[in-house]
């Protein structure tokens, strides 16, 4: 039987399937056995209470959804006092997710959240409805380098930088995060998008614009995971539009060491468990011994870039 375990730096996960931040909480334990997940990724927290954006906060679009939740949070202290012990009733490693509006607070948040029981810190530097210098630091390489370096300087926990697909040059941002000491890169957050109701002439979201996620974005994020994996040597976590086991395999071939799953948890709350089962069947059927061997296994080295030469190879 296939070994589904994967490594993200020093952290070993029982399998590559994790929920994406904001799509998951221990409330899912009512529907699925969350101990089967590779890791648990908590919703992003900020230092202080945030109410979030006006409603409607989500709208259905073709092949996915857009959302403008606006990072509501009960704050860091609540996370440490209530949510952390709640998560620790379960066995998978816990990934805490943090956000802040300025660099000083980001650094302090990383320090304060480095509590026992937190196995890795995902820094959400990519909330799509924020400004480059005010929360969506991952739009630019220089901001990203600054935040990651500051976070790195105050914590020994593994640091995962969650990148933005809205960045112009995402590979440069990825390289900046790697240079500044990130242990892994989560690729990616949602794509800034919009929907207008043609009956009412009103934007479908209370915040007017919001982040696009779900199956529609998978090819876009796939390309980003692929290009980033070619450029960096730290692990990449694929996140965007996964709805079945083949999608996970595809992300791993493109370069991902593990994946995070968001939208599909809403459509099918049991999806992550089916995906883990299907991954095992998929590998067993093909005699794959270690799923980790699929990372960066895309066969693209020998592909001719010249169309006439490709023709001669029968491609």
x/- map, 23-42, other proteins, by CB under 8 A: xxxxxxxxxxx---------
Q: Is 194 in the site for other proteins (CB under 8 A)?
A: no
Residue among 273, 241, 272, 256 at smallest CA distance from 8 = 256
Q: Which two tokens stand for residue 76?
A: 């860091």
236: left (phi over 0), alpha (psi -120 to 50) or beta: beta
**Residue 127: active-site member:** yes
Q: Is 198 in the site for other proteins (CB under 8 A)?
A: no
- Let me know if 132 is exposed, middle or buried by CB neighbors in 10 A (0-12, 13-18, 19+): middle
Q: Is 263 in the site for ligand FMN (CB under 6 A)?
A: yes
Q: Closest distance between ligand FMN and the C-beta of residue 158, in Å?
A: 16
Q: Which of 262, 275, 279, 295 binds ligand FMN (CB under 6 A)?
A: 262
Stretch 84-103 residues interacting with other proteins (CB under 8 A): 86
Select the span of 54-62, 111-119, 152-160, 246-254 touching other proteins (CB under 8 A).
54-62
Q: Is 214 in the site for other proteins (CB under 8 A)?
A: yes
Q: Closest distance between ligand FMN and the C-beta of residue 207, in Å?
A: 12
Select the span of 8-16, 129-137, 262-270, 285-293 touching other proteins (CB under 8 A).
262-270
Q: Closest distance between ligand FMN and the C-beta of residue 238, in Å?
A: 9
Smaller CB separation from ligand FMN, 134 or 293? 134
Q: Which of 15, 44, 83, 229 binds ligand FMN (CB under 6 A)?
A: 44
Which partner from the list other proteins, ligand FMN, none does 240 bind, CB cut-off 5 to 8 Å by kind? Answer: ligand FMN
Stretch 275-304 residues interacting with ligand FMN (CB under 6 A): none
How far apart CA 239 and CA 99 sit, in angstroms, is: 18
Give me the catalytic one of 69, 98, 123, 127. 127
Q: Is 124 in the site for ligand FMN (CB under 6 A)?
A: yes
Which partner from the list ligand FMN, other proteins, none does 169 bind, CB cut-off 5 to 8 Å by kind? Answer: none
Q: Is 120 in the site for ligand FMN (CB under 6 A)?
A: no
Q: What is the 3-state secondary structure (H, E, C) of the chain?
A: CCECCEEECCEEECCCEEECCCCCCHHHHHCCCHHHCCCEECCCECCCCECCCCCCCEEEECCEEEECCCCCECCHHHHHHHHHHHHCCCCCCEEEEECCCCHHHHHHHHHHCCCCCCCEEEEECCCCCCCCCCCCHHHCHHHHHHHHHHHHHHCCCCEEEECCCCCCCHHHHHHHHHHCCCCEEEECCCEEEECEECCCCEECCCCCEEEEECHHHHHHHHHHHHHHHHHCCCCEEEECCCCCHHHHHHHHHHCEEEEEECCHHHHCCCHHHHHHHHHHHHHHHCCCCEHHHHCCCCCCCCCCCCHHHHHHCCC
Stretch 47-66 residues interacting with ligand FMN (CB under 6 A): none
Q: Is 222 in the site for other proteins (CB under 8 A)?
A: no
Q: Is 74 in the site for other proteins (CB under 8 A)?
A: yes
159-162 and 120-124: which strand pairing?
parallel
Binding residues for ligand FMN, per CB under 6 A? 20-23, 43-44, 67, 69, 71, 97, 124, 162, 189-190, 213-214, 217, 239-242, 261-263
Binding residues for other proteins, per CB under 8 A? 22-33, 43, 49, 51-52, 55-65, 67, 69, 72, 74-75, 77-78, 81-83, 86, 214, 263, 265-270, 273
């Amino acid at each position: 039987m296939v070994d589904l375990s994967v490594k993200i730096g020093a952290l070993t996960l029982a399998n590559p399937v994790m929920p994406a931040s904001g799509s998951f909480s221990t409330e899912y334990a009512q529907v699925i056995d969350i101990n089967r997940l590779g890791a648990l990724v908590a919703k992003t927290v900020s230092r202080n209470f945030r109410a979030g954006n006006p409603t409607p906060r989500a709208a259905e679009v073709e092949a996915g959804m857009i959302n403008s939740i606006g990072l509501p949070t009960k704050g860091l202290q609540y996370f440490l006092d209530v949510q952390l012990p709640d998560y620790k009733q379960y066995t998978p490693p816990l990934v805490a997710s943090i956000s802040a509006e300025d660099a000083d607070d980001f650094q302090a948040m990383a320090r304060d959240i480095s509590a026992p029981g937190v196995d890795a810190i995902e820094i959400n530097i990519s909330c799509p409805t924020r400004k480059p210098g005010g929360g969506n630091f991952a739009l630019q390489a220089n901001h990203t380098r600054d935040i990651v370096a500051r976070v790195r300087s105050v914590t020994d926990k593994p640091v995962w930088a969650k990148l933005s697909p809205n960045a112009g040059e995402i590979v440069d941002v990825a390289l900046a995060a790697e240079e500044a000491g990130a242990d892994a890169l989560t690729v990616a957050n949602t794509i800034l998008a919009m929907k207008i109701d043609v009956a009412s002439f009103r934007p479908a979201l209370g915040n007017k614009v919001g982040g696009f996620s779900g199956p529609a974005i998978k090819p876009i994020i796939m390309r980003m995971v692929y290009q980033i994996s070619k450029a960096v040597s730290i692990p990449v976590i694929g996140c965007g539009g996964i709805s079945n086991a083949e999608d996970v395999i595809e992300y791993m071939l493109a370069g991902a060491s593990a994946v995070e799953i968001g939208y599909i948890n809403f459509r099918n709350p049991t999806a992550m468990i089916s995906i883990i089962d299907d991954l095992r069947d998929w590998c067993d059927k093909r005699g794959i011994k270690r799923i980790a061997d699929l990372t960066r296994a895309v066969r693209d080295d020998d592909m001719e870039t010249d169309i006439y030469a490709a023709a001669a190879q029968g491609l």
